[in-house]
Amino acid sequence: MDEKKLTKKQIETVVTEFIDSIDYAIDFTIEPSEDESIYNVYMTGENLGALIGFHGKNIGSIEHIINLMLLRKYETTQRIRLDVNEYRKGRLEQLKSYTEKAVQQVEQTKQSYDLSPMTPYERLCIHEYIKTFKNITSESFGVEPNRYIKITYEE
CATH number at residue 142: 3.30.1370.50
Q: How many domains does the chain have?
A: 2
What per-residue confidence (pLDDT) applies to 152? Answer: 98
Q: For 71, which DSSP code?
A: H
Query: Is residue 13 in some structural domain?
Result: yes
Length of the chain measured in residues: 155
Contact, 63 vs 88, CB < 8 A? no
pLDDT of the chain along its 155 residues, tens only? 456 789 999 999 999 999 999 999 999 999 999 888 899 999 999 999 999 998 888 999 999 999 999 999 999 889 999 999 999 999 999 999 999 999 999 999 999 999 999 998 899 999 999 999 999 999 999 999 899 999 999 98
Tell me, yes or no, whether 100 and 149 share the same domain: yes
Query: Is residue 3 in some structural domain?
Result: no
Q: Which of 46, 62, 85 is the last residue of a domain?
A: 85
What per-residue confidence (pLDDT) applies to 55? Answer: 81
Contact, 119 vs 55, CB < 8 A? yes
What per-residue confidence (pLDDT) applies to 65? Answer: 97
What per-residue confidence (pLDDT) applies to 2? Answer: 54
**DSSP secondary structure letters along 35-70:** STTEEEEEEE-SS-HHHH-GGGHHHHHHHHHHHHHH
What per-residue confidence (pLDDT) applies to 154? Answer: 94
Q: Which of 70, 85, 100 is the last residue of a domain?
A: 85
What per-residue confidence (pLDDT) applies to 5? Answer: 85
Q: Is 13 helix (H, G, I), strand (E, B) or coil?
A: helix
Query: Is residue 1 in some structural domain?
Result: no
Q: Which of 85, 103, 128 is the last residue of a domain?
A: 85
**At CA 106, angle to CA 101 and CA 111, rounded to 5?**
145
Read off the amino acid at residue 34: E
